[in-house]
Amino acid sequence: MDIVTNLSINPRVTRLNHTIEQIANTAVRSWDRAMQQAGLGGRKGYYDDEHYEFEGGEQHNLRTKHYDKSLRLLWKAEEHAPWSSFRDCTRDEETMLAMTKKSLSKEERALRTRLASKEFAQELDQHYTMRQKQAIVNILSLIGHGEAYAWLVSTELLNEVRSTGGRAALTMQVLEEAKHFVVLRELIRAFNCPVPRMNAWEYVLLERIYKSKGLEKFFGMNVVVEGFALSLFGMMSPLPGLEMLKLFHRDESRHTALPGNYLKEFPLSRWQMSNPANRMRRLVTVLAALPVLLHVEDDLAVLGIDAFDLAGSLARKVLKLSERVGFRLPMSYDHAGLILNKLFNAYCKSTREGFAERNFLLSETTVGDEELELEQEIFAQVA
């Protein structure tokens, strides 16, 4: 269609309007620059409208490694948890699902139909005792509450990161944390056991991270808490009924890789990396995560898992990740590992009969080839 314009406008008025705008533009931007230089505020939006880009540039790599990849790996709860209340598949995806169902063998179809019904809860009853179910709920709810804070923290971090690619990456994390929170909540509730509140140690840890300043949130959330979640998902996904935790594990592995990829483009200053107050705060954050695990020592034991194997496996990964990203601690990472191992052994010696000392930092609690391979990519330098 051709565009026909026969509207009459006054070119002189148009020119005048444009001139007024240019004067106003110079005035408001100069004012904001001056206020910024004086430390009195200035422009709030870190957006470079002159280049149609967020400040920090395009950062194509960050976008493809996180935003594109997240979209490519986006999973739908309706497909993986057909028993849940989620109806998030598109019409095309529903058609694909129906076609897949048709190609299933008789037994496979029966299994799927069974799981698609309200009988999922009964399915869980067949696999677990009441105590085991409560143990799973107690452990999973640690992450459930963590997901709520991951959602809160990533929303704030979204306004701390620079560049179009960086913001696109964080936007996907916000979306995935929202999905983790709502989907995990339904999975936990399907166990029909009371869901505990956050324990005091987790409360202190998560509040502390939420209140941490600027990019330090990357350390508390993406390194410590997501490292924690990654380890728990990697440990529990082989349990019957919890297979979908593999998908959570895959998302969290991307989140733990984000600080490294982001800080490669926008490195921390020497001062941010190494100032004594930051180093000490990080150490306290790592130490604050330990009593959270102690609180579920009995629940882990019910599932045949030693809390200190998990703590050791987790500590090794978190320390290596911090080292790679550049979040320094008051001591070397090796030294921190030694201290933690001593602490673990001292606790076990005083509380367990016939305990023989061992190096918990060599433990590996993640199971499943796919999960181990993914973790290997992130913690490439982990022994």
Interface contacts to Fe ion, rule CB under 5 A: 147, 150, 177, 180, 226, 252, 255
Q: Which is nearer to Fe ion, 188 or 302 (CB)?
A: 188
**Residue 177 Cβ, how far from Fe ion at the closest point, in Å?**
5
The amino acid at residue 235 is M
Q: Which is nearer to Fe ion, 150 or 268 (CB)?
A: 150
Q: Which is nearer to Fe ion, 172 or 336 (CB)?
A: 172
Contact in structure between 281 and 216 (CB atoms under 8 Å):
yes
Q: Which is nearer to Fe ion, 120 or 248 (CB)?
A: 248
Q: Which is nearer to Fe ion, 252 or 375 (CB)?
A: 252
**Residue 229 Cβ, how far from Fe ion at the closest point, in Å?**
6
**Residue 97 Cβ, how far from Fe ion at the closest point, in Å?**
25
**Residue 222 Cβ, how far from Fe ion at the closest point, in Å?**
7
Q: Which is nearer to Fe ion, 66 or 328 (CB)?
A: 66
Q: Which is nearer to Fe ion, 147 or 371 (CB)?
A: 147
Q: Which is nearer to Fe ion, 314 or 340 (CB)?
A: 314
**Residue 256 Cβ, how far from Fe ion at the closest point, in Å?**
8
**Residue 226 Cβ, how far from Fe ion at the closest point, in Å?**
5
Q: Which is nearer to Fe ion, 179 or 328 (CB)?
A: 179
**Residue 45 Cβ, how far from Fe ion at the closest point, in Å?**
26
Burial tier of 383 (Cβ tally within 10 Å: 0-12, 13-18, 19+): exposed
Assign 3-class secondary structure to the chain.
CCCCCCCCCCHHHHHHHHHHHHHHHHHHHHHHHHHHHCCCCCCCCCEECCCCEECCCCCHHHHHHHHHHHHHCCCCHHHHCCCCCCCCCCHHHHHHHHHHHHHCCHHHHHHHHHHHCCCHHHHHHHHCCHHHHHHHHHHHHHHHHHHHHHHHHHHHHCCCCCCHHHHHHHHHHHHHHHHHHHHHHHHHHCCCCCCCCCCHHHHHHHHHHHCCCCCHHHHHHHHHHHHHHHHHHHHHCCCCCCCCHHHHHHHHHHHHHHHHHHHHHCCCCHHHHHCHHHHHHHHHHHHHHHHHHHCCHHHHHHCCCCHHHHHHHHHHHHHHHHHHHCCCCCCCHHHHHHHHHHHHHHHHHHHCCCCCCCCHHHCCCCCCHHHHHHHHHHCCCCC
**Residue 148 Cβ, how far from Fe ion at the closest point, in Å?**
10
**Residue 200 Cβ, how far from Fe ion at the closest point, in Å?**
22
What separation in angstroms does the CA of 309 have from each of 213, 235, 316? 32, 11, 11
